[in-house]
Amino acid sequence: QVFPPVNFTLTVSALAQVLLHWEPNPHQDQENYTIRYDVKILSPVPEEYDTGKTHSVRTVALHDGFSARVRTLLLHGDLQMTSEWVKENLPPLPGAPETSITNLSCVTHLTVSGTVSLHCSWLPGPGAPQDTEYFLFYRYKNYTEQCHSYAKDKWDRNTGCSFPGTHIDPEEVDELVIHINGSSKCAAIKPFQQLFNQNAIEKVNVPRNITVSLEENDLLATWEKPISLFHEECFEYEFYLVNLKSGNKQILKLSSKKFRLRIDVTSRYSIQIRANHHTWCTRGVWSDWSEVIYVGQNKLENSVAWILAVLCVSTSCTFLLVTLICK
């Protein structure tokens, strides 16, 4: 007979982190058997796995609660037997409906000094009173920090947060937890939690040392990869080219740091470049466009202007000569 585990508990051990713990059933015969445990996370994100340990840690948003079950898995050669499930739940975090923030968006940015900044924005919940005050916390690994620099809406409610520097390690990849709770004199504000992949929300830096030149009928451009710990192969670029004479606009996708294109040498062009990670290196947020670089000149327009000027002078001289003759 296979007996289920005992003393199964769920404990919130950090922001958006739950510890699952259980003990072997004391009545279980362990001689000549291998004991493992099946774990099934029911909500908020379904997941199934087995383990030989009697504990497990999961990082997941807990504002809507958490539910899991575990059972004993008895192995003997090719024989596999299971016990009944034991189930536990964590209730949703308390608060009035529709008072949680919505539309949470966060980006990180690797600074020149090598630190990582964090910027988040959100909208107040549709059911949140006008006196609602929201407060943001982030957790990275075992470090938790509260925001002290907020952006506000017209009701003076916090709707954005900035950390010029954080404890996020740019050389590692871990989940970033954002927790936003609130307070109001009129209602209980329901907290909200969301997990982010730190690479997926990194706003890439602008490409560096961009140079543009003309070689006969070709435009040549070179640049260096953005300030980043990613290898050069991880970047792709968008090249924004505008023909200022015709108004024609092009956005070209590139994987290299140099570019050659046949152009109309009688036209003047504006050029901008931006960068992002390739999908296989975890897509980030597109960088800002680089500053505008101009190249070439509208030679035809200059020629037309010169011709018009010559005609104007010629006409004036002719008119003056005719006037003198007539006198």
**Residue pLDDT, tens place only, 99-109:** 999 999 999 99
pLDDT value of residue 301: 46
Model's pTM, two decimal places?
Answer: 0.81
CATH number at residue 116: 2.60.40.10
Count of domains observed in the chain: 3
Q: Does residue 95 lie in a domain region?
A: no
If one compares 6 and 302, the residue with the highest pLDDT of the two is: 6
pLDDT value of residue 325: 64
Mean per-residue pLDDT for 253-259? Answer: 91
Domain interval for residue 162 = 102-197
Mean per-residue pLDDT for 120-124? Answer: 96
Model confidence band, residue 30 (pLDDT cutoffs 50, 70, 90): confident
Q: Does residue 310 lie in a domain region?
A: no
pLDDT value of residue 303: 47
If one compares 316 and 30, the residue with the highest pLDDT of the two is: 30
pLDDT over threshold 50, residue 187: yes
> Do 55 and 121 fall within a single domain?
no
Cis peptide, bond prior to residue 92, ω within 30 of zero: no
Burial class of residue 137 in the structure, from the number of CB atoms within 10 Å of its CB (0-12 exposed, 13-18 middle, 19+ buried): middle
pLDDT over threshold 60, residue 302: no
Mention every residue, 6+ apart, whose C-beta is less than 8 A from residue 246: 264, 267
> Do 226 and 285 fall within a single domain?
yes
Q: Does residue 269 lie in a domain region?
A: yes
Q: Does residue 301 lie in a domain region?
A: no
Instruction: Count other C-beta atoms under 10 Å from residue 76's C-beta.
Output: 10
pLDDT value of residue 136: 98
Model confidence band, residue 297 (pLDDT cutoffs 50, 70, 90): confident
8 Å CB contact between 50 and 34? no
Model confidence band, residue 123 (pLDDT cutoffs 50, 70, 90): very high
Mean per-residue pLDDT for 162-179? Answer: 92
Rg (CA), the chain: 32
> Do 192 and 212 fall within a single domain?
no
Mean per-residue pLDDT for 214-229? Answer: 91
Mean per-residue pLDDT for 32-53? Answer: 93
Q: Does residue 306 lie in a domain region?
A: no
pLDDT over threshold 80, residue 321: no
Q: Does residue 309 lie in a domain region?
A: no
pLDDT in tens, 68-84: 999 999 988 788 899 99
Q: Does residue 303 lie in a domain region?
A: no
pLDDT over threshold 80, residue 322: no
Model confidence band, residue 64 (pLDDT cutoffs 50, 70, 90): very high
